[in-house]
């Protein structure tokens, strides 16, 4: 559902200018990170070198600039270019929402404009230096179990009202990738792609977030009735003008 915070931000029509780079913040997305270590992962992204480079630093001329204030009130905010090749003059503001506890709920909205600005990232991020094979296997089992629960939750959201959903795996072994692909194959009713990354250093993390931003922008600009290739090559269904009730 739409929160009071969303309602307050909705009327904003102005753009935030970054004077040092002459870029504007044209996109504002909420990214829900689901999985063990989600908060730590978000902090890694928001404290990265690129995060510091693009964070708005100019102070408002008047007494109140809501766009500047929003970066101060929430630590888990990242500003980054909207394309990996850095050719766009636009910036995107990504506000991370870590989902780690079982009782934490995923976002649900019937407003297509709200849904278009949301992403759910199922995070597979094994930090296992020095772990035995038994611990690694147990960690994989726990992770896939958590992902299964979130997919079941997503399945109860009307397909027309679902945010972008992606499974992102960092530094996964071949065995773990195979297990994740098998898991996706079991949930064909949820449009889900698997993106794998060889490591979890700062550059890789930011690259992964930029890929999410590009997909979110593509969803917003996709003409009605036109399909788009996403992730593993599956066709995206055209977005409906109106969402139906959430079951």
Higher per-residue pLDDT: 197 or 4? 197
Average of per-residue pLDDT across 33-50: 90
CA 188 to each of CA 35, 105, 112, 149, 191: distance values in angstroms, whole numbers, following the listed order: 21, 22, 23, 15, 7
pLDDT band with cut points at 50, 70 and 90 for residue 120: very high
CB 160 within 8 A of CB 133: no
> In this structure, how many other beta carbons lie within 10 angstroms of the beta carbon of residue 135?
12
Average pLDDT, the chain: 77
- Determine the CATH number of domain 13-221: 3.40.50.300
In angstroms, the CA 80 to CA 92 distance is 6
The SS3 assignment for 51 reads helix
For residue 128, what pLDDT is reported? 59
Is the model's pTM score more than 0.85?
A: no
In angstroms, the CA 243 to CA 240 distance is 7
pLDDT in tens, 66-102: 444 344 446 899 998 887 666 667 889 999 999 998 8
For residue 180, what pLDDT is reported? 95
pLDDT(16) > 80: no
Ramachandran sector of residue 57 (left: φ over 0; alpha: ψ -120 to 50; beta: rest): alpha
> In this structure, how many other beta carbons lie within 10 angstroms of the beta carbon of residue 134?
8
In the chain, DSSP finds a helix count (H) and a strand count (E) of: 8, 9
For residue 62, what pLDDT is reported? 52
For residue 175, what pLDDT is reported? 93
pLDDT in tens, 189-198: 898 889 999 9
pLDDT band with cut points at 50, 70 and 90 for residue 34: very high
Q: At what angle do helices 174-185 and 133-155 cross, to 10 degrees?
A: 20
For residue 188, what pLDDT is reported? 86
3-state percent helix, strand, coil for the chain, nearest multiple of 5: 35, 20, 40
For residue 38, what pLDDT is reported? 93
Enter the tokens of residue 109: 């909205």
pLDDT(7) > 50: no
Q: What percent of the chain has pLDDT over 90?
A: 41
Give kind and range of the element (H or E) at residue 5: helix 4-9
pLDDT(162) > 80: yes
For residue 169, what pLDDT is reported? 95
CA 166 to chain centre: 8
Higher per-residue pLDDT: 126 or 7? 126
For residue 211, what pLDDT is reported? 93
């Amino acid at each position: 559902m739409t929160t009071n915070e969303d309602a307050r931000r909705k009327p904003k029509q102005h753009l935030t200018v970054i004077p040092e780079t002459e870029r504007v913040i044209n996109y504002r997305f909420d990214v829900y990170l689901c999985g063990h270590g989600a908060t730590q992962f978000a902090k890694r992204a928001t404290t990265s070198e690129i995060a510091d480079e693009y964070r708005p630093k100019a102070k408002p001329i008047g007494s109140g600039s809501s766009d500047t204030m929003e970066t101060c009130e929430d630590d888990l905010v990242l500003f980054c270019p909207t394309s990996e090749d850095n050719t766009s003059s636009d910036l995107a503001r990504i506000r991370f929402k870590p989902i780690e506890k079982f009782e934490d709920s995923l976002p649900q909205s019937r407003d297509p404009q709200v849904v278009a600005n949301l992403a759910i990232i199922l995070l597979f991020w094994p930090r296992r230096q020095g772990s035995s094979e038994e611990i690694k296997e147990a960690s994989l089992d726990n992770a896939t179990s958590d992902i299964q629960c979130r997919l079941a939750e997503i399945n109860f959201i009307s397909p027309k009202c679902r945010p972008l959903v992606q499974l992102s795996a960092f530094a996964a072994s071949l065995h773990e990738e195979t297990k994740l692909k098998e898991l996706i194959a079991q949930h064909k009713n949820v449009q889900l792609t698997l993106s794998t990354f060889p490591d979890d250093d700062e550059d890789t993390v930011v690259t992964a977030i930029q890929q999410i931003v590009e997909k979110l922008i593509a969803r917003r600009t996709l003409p009605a009735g036109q399909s788009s290739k996403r992730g593993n090559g599956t066709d995206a269904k055209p977005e409906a003008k109106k969402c139906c009730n959430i079951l």
